[in-house]
Amino acid sequence: MTESYSLPDLLEAAAEVRKQAYAKFSHYKVGAALLAKDGTIFSGCNVENSSFGLTICAERSAVTAAVAAGRQTFQALALVTEKQGAPCGACRQVLAEFCGDEFPIHFAAAEDLGDIKTSTLGELLPDAFRF
């Protein structure tokens, strides 16, 4: 991406929204901060449901908020979890709807936002299904 952004600010936004996660069943809270091309940050957290298939991940929550606000082009995604987890397969596919293979995804553990892993969407989802 040619746009610049503050990774610490993006990670902090993900860490803040993670506090709002509703993880009654897994107890695994996730916060996501999705940076739109215009610089707006859209946050999302996981919201679990007793009917597990209805659970929504933080990443998809952030994408949905962005699309609802009229944004469909993005610069980067930051995730904060307990154990520095990467997006699940469903979230990777949703991101592929809006982002290219070079889209950066940064993930950190809540206890240490300075220890950052970075991957591209293409590395996490090779040969993504796209129309």
* CATH number of the domain encompassing residue 41: 3.40.140.10
Is 16 tagged catalytic?
no
- The pLDDT of residue 4: 81
Question: What pLDDT digit, counting tens, does each position of 33-86 carry?
Answer: 999 999 999 999 999 999 999 999 999 999 999 999 999 999 999 999 999 999
- The pLDDT of residue 2: 45
What's the pTM? 0.95
Q: Which of 12, 16, 48, 59 is catalytic?
A: 59
Would residue 131 count as lying in a domain?
A: no
Which alpha helices (DSSP H) does 6-88 contain, by range? 7-18, 58-68
Mean pLDDT for the chain overall: 96
Number of structural domains found in the chain: 1
- The pLDDT of residue 1: 39
Bridge partners for 74 per DSSP: 36
Would residue 2 count as lying in a domain?
A: no
Domain range for 60: 7-124
Question: What pLDDT digit, counting tens, does each position of 75-130 carry?
Answer: 999 999 999 999 999 999 999 999 999 999 999 999 999 999 999 999 999 999 99
